[in-house]
């Protein structure tokens, strides 16, 4: 019986609430701690309030293997340091620009492209590439993911062609 199947059985018989089942499901893919800064940032953002639980879970998976335990301890220390220094900004980055501001910078009407730009901006914040409003404005202006194609730009009348 695999982990996902065991979780489904626990949920079916009522051992876990729906909320707890969702939380445990988010932990199941964790088998090791992330190695680099970028991966650590994504780990903390993806798991949010479950990050410390995920760190402990990964430690338990290593059992008594001394080499794996040493690697886990180093990874746990690195994650703890990053969380202490920037945790809130990684887990839940502050909104530096809203949709209207992004649309104005890109000179487009509000719509799906603005949402895509906001998602790209949020990931840039998580990854530590954008920290201030000025950084956010520069990111939106210069990043290919944020720029709409010419076919999607508004016409002179303000509506998309």
Query: pLDDT value at position 64?
Result: 83
The mean pLDDT of 72-95, rounded to a whole number, is 94
| Beta carbons within 8 Å of 99's beta carbon, 6+ residues apart | 110, 114, 115, 118
Task: Give the model's confidence band at 46: pLDDT under 50 very low, under 70 low, under 90 confident, else very high.
Answer: very high
Is pLDDT of 24 > 80?
yes
Segment 32-42, tens digit of pLDDT: 899 999 999 99
Query: pLDDT value at position 128?
Result: 95
Torsions phi, psi of 24, nearest 5? -65, -40
The mean pLDDT of 1-19, rounded to a whole number, is 89
Which phi-psi region, left, alpha or beta, contains residue 92 (left: φ > 0; alpha: ψ -120 to 50)? beta
Altogether, the residues listed in the chain come to a count of: 161
Is pLDDT of 136 > 50?
yes
Model-level pTM greater than 0.85? no
């Amino acid at each position: 019986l695999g982990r996902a199947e065991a979780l489904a059985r626990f949920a079916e018989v009522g051992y876990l609430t729906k909320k707890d089942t969702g939380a445990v499901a988010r932990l199941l893919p964790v088998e090791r701690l992330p190695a680099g800064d970028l991966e650590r940032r994504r780990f903390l953002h993806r798991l949010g309030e479950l990050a410390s639980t995920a760190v402990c879970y990964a430690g338990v998976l290593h059992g008594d293997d001394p080499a794996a335990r040493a690697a886990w301890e180093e990874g746990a220390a690195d994650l703890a340091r990053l969380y202490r220094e920037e945790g809130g900004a990684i887990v839940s980055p502050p909104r530096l620009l809203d949709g209207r501001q992004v649309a104005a910078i890109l000179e487009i009407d509000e719509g799906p492209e603005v949402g895509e730009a906001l998602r790209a901006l949020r990931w840039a914040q998580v990854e530590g590439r954008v920290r201030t409003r000025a950084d956010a404005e520069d990111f939106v202006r210069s990043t290919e993911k944020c720029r709409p194609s010419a076919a999607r730009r508004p016409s002179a009348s303000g509506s998309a062609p």
